[in-house]
Amino acid sequence: MESLRCIVVDDEEGAHLVLDHYIKGTSSLVLIGNFYNAVNAMDFMFKNQVDLLFLDINMPGISGLDMLEAMSNPPLVVLTTAYTQYALTGYKYQVVDYLVKPFELAKFMAAIDHVFARYQPRVARNSAPPGQPTPDSFLVLKIDTGIVKVRTAGITHIQSYGNYVKVFTDDKMYLSASTTSEIEQQLDKRLFRRIHRSYIVALSKIRSLEGAQVNLENGLVLPVGKTYKREILEHFTRNS
């Protein structure tokens, strides 16, 4: 999948410099415009596809919130502000996240993680056969080196690991500083199912269900919790 196309709208040069640096250091984002007022930004957005907007709340003339009010179909938005008391205001407009100046890299990366959790690819999900991931569907993970996108079609299972999760694919394992619940929210419920408090499994990778365990196609055997067994049985019954 292509990187998200983003623009920065802020009347402060320093904010542009920091955000530009962070964006250019994130392979899943591409910066396509910098604007110092809402009017120029909106004019650009009328003519160009923008997936993500970094938007300052306090700007002279038309404020960031006024700009959101004026747009009928805004892109994903991360608000930027120097004042913490304005941060929650943006949730009225269903923004994804906010960053308080001066921007910290860790907070920026967390916001981008939230962005990808919310982002829906422009290719319709139902273009894929039932029960199969779309070719460009992916899971966004926070790892030591930043953020990585993992194709969901290659994921076999996910395991809780203390304050981390292990995401296993057909040929690799990723250790991510996330919770199982956070990962579960990104996954298509038709394709992935929790089978234990510590495990989520790709349903297409299950070879068989025997007693209190599932056997995966790669030979791995995983436990099935009592509270999840009935749901797994019903799935196999409906799809047998």
Residues 66-117 pLDDT 10s = 888 777 678 899 999 877 655 445 455 668 888 999 999 999 999 998 888 8
- For residues 65 and 89, the answer to whether their CB atoms sit within 8 Å is yes
Least confident of 43-57, 115-129, 155-169: 115-129
Give per-residue pLDDT as tens, 28-45.
999 999 999 988 888 888
Q: Pick the closest to residue 11 from 64, 47, 51, 48 (CA basis).
A: 64
Q: Which domains does the chain show, CATH number per domain?
A: 4-118 (3.40.50.2300), 134-238 (2.40.50.1020)
Give the C-alpha separation, 152 to 229, whole Å: 23
